[in-house]
Structure 1
Amino acid sequence: MLRGLTTVSFWAADLPAAKAWYTELLGTEPYFERPGYAEFRLGDYQHELGLIDSSYAPPGSATGPGGAVVYWHVEDVSAALDTLLSKGAKEYEPLTERGPGFVTASVTDPFGNVLGIMDNAHYREVLAARGTGDA
């Protein structure tokens, strides 16, 4: 039924500021934009991170961190966490060793969204099996 991650959407009351922050963080401009929306393609599988003007949020939407955290694979969680914090993100969950080959952390971006980062042994195994990355 679920075939893969397509788009992770973050709300932002100040969309131009969020677009600028993520453009600097990711080192790339959005590949798709329309009024009230900007979308980036990221990583090995070109997953999408969408920024949406919070005026489009459905009634009753959470205005702060919610119950789900999406983790993005990174090569070095500690370095990525330091980068995020240096750009104004706030620690949500500290760097945590989850077991052999699994390290996580998460932050709240300056716009109130939770951004998770992870070094994940299973992600590396999938890349290696596909011949598209390091094991």
Structure 2
Amino acid sequence: MSTTQGIKTVLHPVTDLAAAKSVYTALLGFPPQTDESYYVGYEAGSQHVGLVPGGGQGMASPIAYWEVPDIEAKLAEVTAAGATVKEPVRDVGGGRLVATFTDPDGNVLGVLQDR
């Protein structure tokens, strides 16, 4: 069984990226490290906070991403335990792999692996 390094990334779906960026910049007290039309990201301590315009890939609410050393192994473990893969592993750039799954109650959880 592989372990996680905890929740390191939380992505928030937003309808107005500029308005959300203003609020999160005020909340965190510094500008984003990534500021693109398709994604705004902040590094706050050891956590990454991301804003995804248009709700991202069907995001209805924020998704917490658990950092894991082997994303494929972790997905196999959680599906064997009763989870259902929502979005399979995909590379989102910079060597980062992400995937989402639902628990038995339909809550969406994410896992990520940095190569």
Please report the TM-score for the alignment, with normalisation by the length of structure 2.
Answer: 0.47
| Higher RCO (Cα < 8 Å, 6 or more apart) | 2
- The structure number with the bigger radius of gyration is 1
Q: TM-score, normalised by structure 1?
A: 0.40
More helix by share: 1
